[in-house]
Amino acid sequence: MSPLANRAFAKMNGIGNEIVVVDMRNSDAPVTSNDVLVMAGAVTYDQLMVLHRPRSAGTEAFVSIYNNDGSEAGACGNGMRCVVRRIFEKTGQTVATLETRAGLLYCWQGPVPDLYTVDMGAPKFGWRDIPLAHEFSDTRNIDLQVGPIDNPILHSPAVVSMGNPHAIFWVDNVNGYDLGRFGPLLENHPIFPELANITLAHIVDRNHITTRTWERGVGMTKACGSGACATAVAAARLKRANRSVEVTLPGGKLNIEWRESDDHVLMTGTASFEYEGTFDPALAPIV
């Protein structure tokens, strides 16, 4: 039977990003993509955050991150804020270190009780690190477009890795494009061997950016925390925005700082609790 059967979960919300948190630190049973797909029928989520026993000294847990299509992600900033809220509420801590496939993440209580900050680490810009299918010497904009070659609808995205690959297209109006149509085509473009998150971004001013994101393995989402981080970094690299900005997403706002001292990206935002539940064992296949 699936290790998720009869497991308690917390349904949470990271500014519109639907998150489910499951604490499995008392079990060594692995969770498979099939488990994730089956249990997605029990509760709606964009990401499932599974806490496993710590693998590194000084960490609270190793967190596996699954998209609702069963694929595994390296990072989810909105999901990490939900995880740390659960940990802080249960333990009284105000700081925690968590580990994901993308590395260690340092988290702490924000400036007010309902805000949480996640150190998302340093962005990566090398074409192999993102990754891209072939070499680009400058990833601040790459040769990729949608539409006629002489009049493209979208073109010249910045590409960044924040633990997962992101492509950011600069537009005048993030709602002026059919992202539900273009998103799947761009996510699966051959230039992205591990697929990509696709973001439309508008620079309001040097301190404010608005975005919409088609999320890899999820689809249209109200919020993508790593996408907001990638967008802020890309805008700063292009001298279009400051290193500390507010990013407005359909589900809410995040404060993003690309810290000069170590190039780490700090993301601050809310994390809301919705309800607790238990995965129905009847949904779990016998294996």
Residues annotated as catalytic are: 76, 224
Q: Which residue has the tokens 């279009």?
A: 240
Closest CA to 123 of 249, 250, 234: 234
Cα–Cα dist 115/6, whole Å? 31
Closest CA to 81 of 261, 255, 262, 259: 255
Look at strands 252-258 and 158-161 and give their pairing. Answer: unpaired
Cα–Cα dist 40/22, whole Å? 13
